[in-house]
């Protein structure tokens, strides 16, 4: 187990990323048309209609964007689940940007655009389960190993991701299997959780995510089941956590409690908490005090064998993509 507290993050990041920081100052975030250029065609998780669909619009059709690099450095892959408080999906800076960061190092990535409010539990979790099952089912088609598929979730996406990791196939069972994909294991092989929502019980819970997922007056049984720190066991996959001490949106106790639960269950885990106040910065390329965290993630991926030591180098820090690029349609689009 490793736990790292960065009280001198600014000095550390300045030493490691000074050239990148200078480059950021001279560039601006790409415009939406540049972000969407070359975007892979989405794969609809349920081509014939998703279970529990409220209609037949774009908002009712969860989908995956498969980012598969021409040259892979590893057979591992990552399902990327952006945050958004279960009201929207921050698919730009916590989805497409993560995927391209992984691709640059030779890692295949699959970005999930899932249904959000007015949808409620179990729909969002079922979309996440279906995404993991789809990637695993089609692993041969994408040239990846079905036993080396991780999940990377941010904020509320971290809650969805950790729900898959903790509960696996019991996270939100479907009333009935829709096809052979639903027979496949939904538990990831490793997890990366960025400033995650973990608990659905006050005071740690992020009230917005809790209400969007479970309703204005959530029942205690659902709150307990979906407070994922309470259900960590030896089947929970190894985990990397990143958060900030003064997170103004999601209390850092979410990450602390989950790390402690992993430690007690003897699950390999690494936690990096920066003495800073931020939520939702993605790769944090424009914040020198936090811009070192992707390097720590890369080091962990190499150390745990998901990424080879000779993988292509870490991409330079860059400005954030917009949360939702203009011109894109999908269930996670903010109204």
Confidence grade of residue 254 (pLDDT, cut at 50, 70, 90):
very high
Please state the pTM of the whole predicted model. Answer: 0.93
Give the per-residue pLDDT at 29.
78
Mean pLDDT in residue range 69-92:
98
Mean pLDDT in residue range 301-320:
97
Position 43 in a domain: yes
Domain that holds residue 14: 2-303
Q: pLDDT at residue 198 above 60?
A: yes
Give the per-residue pLDDT at 22.
37
Position 315 in a domain: no
Confidence grade of residue 175 (pLDDT, cut at 50, 70, 90):
confident
Position 244 in a domain: yes
**CATH code of residue 124:** 3.40.50.1820
Position 329 in a domain: no
Give the per-residue pLDDT at 177.
83
Q: pLDDT at residue 21 above 70?
A: no
Average model confidence (pLDDT) for the chain? 92
Position 233 in a domain: yes
Q: Which of 75, 47, 147, 65 is nearest to 110 (CA)?
A: 65
Q: What share of the chain is helix, strand, coil (3-state, %, to 5)?
A: 35, 15, 50
Mean pLDDT in residue range 310-320:
96
Across the strands, what pairs with 65? 111
Position 328 in a domain: no
Q: Which of 310, 167, 146 is nearest to 235 (CA)?
A: 167
Q: pLDDT at residue 28 above 70?
A: yes
């Amino acid at each position: 187990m490793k736990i790292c507290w960065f009280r001198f993050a600014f000095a550390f990041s300045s030493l490691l990323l000074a050239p990148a920081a200078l480059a950021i100052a001279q560039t601006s975030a790409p415009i939406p048309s540049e972000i969407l250029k070359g975007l892979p065609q989405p794969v609809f998780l349920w081509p014939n209609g998703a279970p529990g669909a409220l209609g037949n619009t774009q908002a009712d059709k969860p989908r995956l964007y498969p980012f598969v690099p021409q040259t892979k450095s590893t057979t591992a892959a990552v399902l990327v689940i952006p945050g958004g408080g279960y009201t929207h999906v921050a698919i730009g800076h916590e989805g497409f940007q993560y995927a391209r960061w992984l691709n640059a190092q030779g890692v295949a990535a699959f970005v999930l655009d899932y249904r959000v409010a007015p949808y409620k539990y179990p729909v969002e979790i079922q979309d996440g389960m279906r995404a993991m099952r789809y990637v695993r089912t089609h692993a041969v088609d994408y040239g990846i190993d079905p036993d080396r598929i991780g999940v990377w979730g941010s904020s509320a996406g971290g809650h969805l991701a950790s729900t898959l990791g903790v509960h696996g196939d019991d996270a939100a069972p479907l009333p009935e299997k829709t096809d052979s994909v639903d027979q496949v294991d939904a538990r990831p092989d490793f997890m990366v959780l960025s400033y995650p929502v973990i608990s659905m019980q006050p005071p740690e819970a992020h009230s917005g995510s809790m209400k969007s997922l479970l309703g204005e007056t959530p029942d205690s049984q659902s709150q307990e089941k979906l407070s994922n720190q309470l259900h960590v066991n030896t089947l929970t996959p190894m985990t990397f956590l990143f958060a900030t001490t003064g997170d103004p949106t999601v209390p850092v106790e979410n990450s602390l409690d989950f790390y402690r639960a992993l430690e007690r269950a003897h699950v390999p885990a690494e936690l990096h908490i920066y003495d800073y106040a931020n939520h939702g910065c993605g790769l944090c390329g424009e914040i020198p005090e936090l811009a070192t965290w992707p390097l720590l993630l890369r080091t962990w991926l190499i150390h745990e064998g998901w990424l080879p030591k000779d993988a292509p180098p870490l991409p330079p820090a860059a400005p954030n993509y917009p949360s939702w690029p203009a011109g894109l349609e999908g269930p996670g689009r903010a109204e």
